[in-house]
Amino acid sequence: MLFSKKDPADPRTDFERDLLVQARKLIPGDPPAPWRLQTVIDAAGVTAGGWDGGGRIVLISGSGCSVTDALTGQRLVRERDAEKTERRLTAGGLRFTVPDTGEEIGVFGLDGGDGIGMNADGWRLEVIYPWWPRASVIMENVFSREYRYLAGAVMLEIPRLDGWLKAGFSPSGEAFMVLGSGGAAVFAKR
């Protein structure tokens, strides 16, 4: 029976329970080749983030926003005016105007939706909850031979971030970041 339910108090199907068992067997570690951890950006109270056209990281918090170089982690711009930052958010928190360039970008995060979940090479990011309420991020390549969900997935070790997590690729697909209230972990191709 495909949708059998052995325990009436547990509404999950056998398939869903099997996926949970698989997810709980994943051990956090380094991303698969060709990806590597590029930098960790510490920023308290982050609620959203995104990428500008130059590949810089934009982080938004209740106390303002910052623009950081994605390769070095060096902060380039810091706007401490919370009201001005709030006015730069539009479209229900999904768009933001970057302070120093005036460029409007897409953002994702706690209130800003999800990031770009897959790149052109078939790499896919997903936030899962095998140990609810703890969030984990998995990465897998859906273009790999004989792809099966979670079979080749890697659970990412995310340094210095906990609580809520969101993940998304840059528009170019050459980098991705994991956001949390404590900042962002940025990964790039080797």
Q: Which two tokens stand for residue 124?
A: 């896919």
Spatial strand order of the sheet with 75-79 comes to 75-79, 64-68, 57-61, 46-51, 104-109, 95-97, 89-90
pLDDT of residue 189: 93
Every domain of the chain and the residues it spans: 31-189
Complete DSSP assignment for 123-153 = EEEEEEEEETTEEEEEEEETTSTT--TTTT-
Amino acid at 36: R
pTM for this prediction:
0.91
pLDDT of residue 53: 94
Classified as helix, coil or strand, 41 is: strand
From first to last of the 190 residues of the chain, give the pLDDT tens digit.
455 556 778 888 999 999 999 999 999 999 999 999 999 999 999 999 999 999 999 999 999 999 999 989 999 999 999 999 999 998 788 999 999 999 999 999 987 789 999 999 999 999 999 999 999 999 999 999 999 999 999 999 998 887 899 999 999 999 999 999 999 999 999 8
